[in-house]
């Protein structure tokens, strides 16, 4: 089956703070066709995200498919508060790269 990378299907893939104890991820699509294709593929789900980031599924606070905005969003609970000693990404904006190369099956 043919696949495409998520970065080639989405308009925006980003991560950012969602308060001091969480990082939120947004995957936003320009058009409904790509959004629906990714959504229907079932590739992006709580279990996949947990495996991709090497975390227990219990750290995923939210996972939402937001149809009006053509967006898939999820939020991860941080292990340490933003800005605390030993925490490596104060703004949470460097956490999205593993999503870029996710392969999504596409119709021929």
pLDDT of residue 108: 67
- Give residue limits of the domains in the chain: 3-98
Q: What is the DSSP letter of 43?
A: -
Whether the model clears a pTM of 0.85, i.e. scores above it, the answer is yes
C-alpha separations of 1 from 6, 18, 87, 107 in Å: 16, 37, 40, 8
Distance CA 45, CA 88 (A): 25
pLDDT of residue 1: 86
pLDDT of residue 53: 97
pLDDT of residue 87: 84
Q: What is the CATH number of domain 3-98?
A: 3.30.70
Q: In tens digits, what is the pLDDT along the chain, a chain of 108 residues? A: 899 999 999 999 999 999 899 999 999 999 999 999 999 999 999 999 999 999 999 999 999 999 999 999 999 999 998 989 988 888 989 999 999 999 999 976
């Amino acid at each position: 089956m043919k696949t495409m990378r998520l970065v080639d299907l989405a308009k925006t893939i980003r991560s950012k703070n969602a308060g001091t104890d969480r990082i939120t991820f947004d995957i936003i699509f320009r058009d409904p066709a790509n959004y629906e294709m990714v959504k229907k593929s079932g590739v992006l789900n709580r279990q996949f995200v947990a495996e991709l980031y090497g975390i227990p599924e219990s750290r995923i606070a939210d996972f939402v498919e937001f149809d009006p905005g053509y967006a898939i969003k999820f939020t991860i609970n941080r292990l340490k508060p933003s800005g605390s000693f030993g925490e490596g990404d104060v703004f949470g904006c460097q956490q999205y790269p593993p999503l870029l190369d996710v392969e999504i099956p596409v119709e021929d």
